[in-house]
Every structure is written in structure tokens, then in C-alpha cells.
Amino acid sequence: MNIESAKTKEDLLDVQARGMRENLMFWGVPENPDENCTEIILNLCQNELKMERVKERVKIDRAHRSGKKMIGQRAKPRPIVAKFHSYEVKEEIRSKSSLLSKTDIGISQQFPKEIYERRKALIPIMKREREKGREVKLVRDRLFINNREYKPT
């Protein structure tokens, strides 16, 4: 791939990621027919994340299930994608996700598939460095170890 098309591809990926900036993925939320995903998320924020004044503060532009519905014994609930009106509220919800550690529900940021793949490759390195006692941060598809960006060799 030439340099110009690689840059164009990265620019497109950046635009896609910015479009998902206010989105969160909610994993493991039981799925029911005729459900209202917005109400499910608002109830989760109030009851599990212990947020106050949820109906006033948490504005959701859209919420829906993502992916193909699976049928059978191995079927898992599809994740809910929620687009929040406010980035600050989205970050507050994400910061409280550890309150769900004793449940089957998880919260993560939404990224384009290519960024997910890059992150997936960095996670083992992140864990190894954390075990060594280093300060580690994974920001989008970039890994920082002791405040220096990790560059694979």
C-alpha cells in the first residue's frame, strides 16, 4: 500500500472513531422481546451504577442491540450500543463500570473493528508490563508505558 492511501485509510479510521466517541457498548445485558434499550441503560445507570438524577442528566440519543441474533443454547445476549448526548456523562458511566464486576454485565468504549484488532494485539503487552510494575495506559489503539508510547519493533 502506498503512503498516500495508507494516510487516507488512517484518516477514515480516525473519522469513524471520532463518530463513536460518545458511544458505549454494554455487554451481557439479558435480551428480551419488545425491550426498550434506552430504558434498560437508564435503569442500569440508576440501580447498578448508583448514579443520581439519571432521568435528568443521562440523555441517550440512540440505543440498540448490535449484531445478529443467535438462537439456541449457546446464544449470548447481543451487546447494546448507546450513543450519549454528553461525552462527560458517557465518561462518568464508563468510570463507574467497575461497580459491575460482580455481575455478568460489562461496559466498554466502541471503536471501529480495525482499532479493536490493534487493541487486542496490545493487551498481552499491556498486562505483561503492568505485572512488571510499570504504569500502563491503552488510549484508543496506542499503548503508553511509563508515559512513553510503545512502538512494536
- Write down the mean pLDDT value for the chain: 93
pLDDT over threshold 80, residue 153: no
Amino acid (1-letter code) at residue 44: L
Question: Domain extents for the chain?
Answer: 21-110
Average pLDDT over residues 41-66: 96
Q: What is the mean pLDDT of residues 140-152?
A: 91
pLDDT at 1: 61
Q: Tell me: the pLDDT tens digits for 77-98?
A: 999 999 999 999 999 999 999 9
**Where is pLDDT greater, at 14 or 89?**
89
- Mean per-residue pLDDT, 118-132: 94
21-110: CATH number = 3.30.70.1820
- Residue partners of 153: CB distance under 8 A and separation at least 6: none
Rounded percentage of the chain residues whose pLDDT exceeds 90: 79
Q: Which three cell numbers stand for residue 102?
A: 460482580
What pLDDT shows up at residue 129? 95
d(CA 95, CA 102): 16
Q: Which residue has the higher pLDDT, 68 or 45?
A: 45
DSSP one-letter string for 8-52? HHHHHHHHHHHHTTTEEEEES----TT--HHHHHHHHHHHTS--S
Specify the pTM: 0.82
